[in-house]
A and B are shown apart, each in its own frame.
Chain A
Amino acid sequence: MTTVITGAAGAPPAAPAPPAPRSRRTRRGLAPLFLLSPAGLVLALVTLAPIGFLVYTSFTDYNQRSLFTGAYHAVGLDNYTELLGSGAFWASLVRTVLFTAAMVAGSVLTGMGVSHLLTRLGRGWRYTVTVVLIVAWAMPNVASSLVWNWLFQPGYGVVNWGLDQLRVFGDTTSLDWAQDPARAYVVIWLLIVWQAVPFIALTLNAAETQVPREYLEAARMDGATELAVYRIITLNHLRPTLLLVTILSVIWDYNVFNQIWLISRGGPGDATSTLGVYTYKTAFVGFHIGQGAAISVVTTLLLLGLTAVYIRNLLKAGEDL
């Protein structure tokens, strides 16, 4: 605790006035080093060291007892071979991939629609929609997960009441959403899409307003339908942004934890245990920490390709500045 405070206060790497007069070039050459090293050291300590330790732990049988005694054994690749032979792991992986695809499709498509809608609105409605988007986006996910539990609460939840009024699903007042795999997915999916759409819609809209007007008007003059204009001209301009937003959504949705944990705890049974939940349960409910570390490593590796594409794109965009 104190180390953290002194670390912060003593951090300014006051590029000290060099005692001996050095050439200007060397001094400038060292400046970035002085400026970077405090952050660099802290980052190495809090990110690189833990990641290294995660990989190390994944080759051990670290478990609940080790937490008290500090004793554990190297087990080589055992955790990994066990993992690859485990039905629960494969089931969780398939679940994660399918659910991620469903969440990304839902939020990106809705986001595209809302982005386009924003271009068609007068100032008043555009402002209203933007405020609604920002408020939905701002909701902390712990709070929105609780709100969701309340909306879908069996007995007094407003959604069950609404469905009941429709009179098509029979008596739905005491429908328990979290107790049925398909329904639990629907609830979580709705929450994720609700939270993800604002970022996607606003980002895409920022790009969509940059589409040159003349192109759109020229196409309309040539008699293209609105759908054709959107498909041929707008989408073409949106492609790079769309790619970034989609990759980012995949990364986030793949890693979703809080919402699933707070709504279904990965249940009923293991029905909604995506990789994040499965890892958490293995490491912190069963306290098979070595095994949990192995799942975490595999989870990270599976995403690495996509992360690489994303970072390359972002760097390219950043370098131009």
Chain B
Amino acid sequence: MKHKRRWIANTLAAVFCLVWAFPVYWMVNTAFKPRPEVMTPTPHFVPEHPTLDNFVKAVTQEQFLTNLRNSVIVVVLTVMVSIVLGIFAAAALSRFRFRARRLIMVVILAVQMLPGTALLIPMFVMFNQLDLLGTYAALVLAYVATVLPFSIWVMRGFFVTIPAEIEEAARMDGASTWRVLTSVLFPLVAPGVISTGIFAFIAAWNDYLFAYTFMQDQSRYTLPVWLASFTNPHTGTDFGGQMAASVLFSVPVVVFFLIIQRNLVAGMSAGAVKG
């Protein structure tokens, strides 16, 4: 009886893995196939003549390097701003009790739940007025709006796990608030800060909507917009190239996810990485 049940569970697990892994497998599989094997009515489940041509085509695309650079600049700035501002706010919200604390946390969480257009529309108009459309600043400000709140929330979760005794001991030894923060608390939350930075990276790296709407010129786009624009109605979609580009774009995110998997659930429930 028990034996039979195990067998059923294993079969279900195998079927589930096949179905859920298939889209990812198909992306990778297509990326390594030469064009005749891609564009065929009878699919090849294993590349017969594996090739790197699609990857070469993807990275030698005119805009790839420019758009990669845009992505890196915007993402790095977003992560830096969010972590630096966020860590102090997170410390304040976890190590101190004061009025308005609850209100601030409500605002932080509520921002996460807004539809994208609720920030997109007013920011578009404001940036248009300030002549910021098409600049890195426009994107960084838009990303900080969503990334900073969840960075504060996630880092706060790491701060609250530090026992109060550690902090009290430092105070007894005469350490100032500033010193308690920088020499005691910050080193203790460092691993949490790294996870939060990765969340911030992923959120900014993946954004399509803001970059697509604000940047308005091929040379200003970030990688997600570059990726989506492989679907060119004039040249017809080059699926091999598109899948190779998708692999390149997804690899850093997948690697990061596997690194922070233990903290994923906590970050997600604060709206870190949206579906």
Residues of chain B with a CB closer than 8 A to A92's CB: none
Question: Chain A, 231-274, contact with B by CB distance < 8 Å: what is the 0/1 string?
Answer: 00000000000001000110111111110001000000000000
Once A40-B104, A54-B118, A299-B117 are accepted as A-B contacts, the answer to whether A146 and B228 lie under 8 Å apart by CB is yes
Residues of chain A with a CB closer than 8 A to B17's CB: 128-129, 132
Once A143-B246, A153-B239, A253-B275 are accepted as A-B contacts, the answer to whether A293 and B89 lie under 8 Å apart by CB is no
A interface residues, Cβ below 8 angstroms from B: 1, 3-5, 7-9, 11-15, 17, 27-29, 31-33, 35-36, 38-40, 42-43, 45-54, 57, 62, 67, 70, 114, 117, 120-122, 125, 128-129, 131-151, 153, 155-156, 158, 161, 173, 192, 194-197, 199, 202-203, 206, 244, 248-249, 251-258, 262, 275-276, 279-280, 283-284, 289, 292-293, 295-297, 299-300, 303, 307, 310-311, 314-315, 318, 321
Candidates B41, B119, B121, B209; contact of A156 at CB < 8 Å = B41
A26 shortest CB reach to chain B, Å: 12
A146 touches B113 (CB 8 A): no
**How long is the Cα–Cα vector from A139 to B20 in the complex, in angstroms?**
12
B interface residues, Cβ below 8 angstroms from A: 5-6, 9-10, 12-14, 16-17, 20-21, 23-24, 26-27, 30, 38-43, 77, 80-81, 84-86, 88-89, 91-93, 96, 98, 101-102, 104-111, 113-126, 128-129, 135-137, 140-142, 144-145, 148-149, 152, 156-157, 160-161, 176-178, 181, 205-206, 208-209, 213, 224, 227-228, 230-231, 237, 239, 242-243, 246, 249-250, 253-254, 256-258, 261, 264-265, 268-271, 274-275
- Which B residue sits closest to A137, measured CB to CB? B257
Once A8-B81, A117-B9 are accepted as A-B contacts, the answer to whether A14 and B249 lie under 8 Å apart by CB is no
- Which B residue sits closest to A66, measured CB to CB? B125
A156 touches B239 (CB 8 A): yes
Residues of chain A with a CB closer than 8 A to B119's CB: 47, 50-51, 54
B110 touches A133 (CB 8 A): no
Candidates B227, B265, B270, B274; contact of A202 at CB < 8 Å = B265
- Which A residue sits closest to B226, measured CB to CB? A142
B263 shortest CB reach to chain A, Å: 12
Residues of chain B with a CB closer than 8 A to A252's CB: 274-275
**How long is the Cα–Cα vector from A64 to B228 in the complex, in angstroms?**
25
Residues of chain B with a CB closer than 8 A to A151's CB: 23, 26
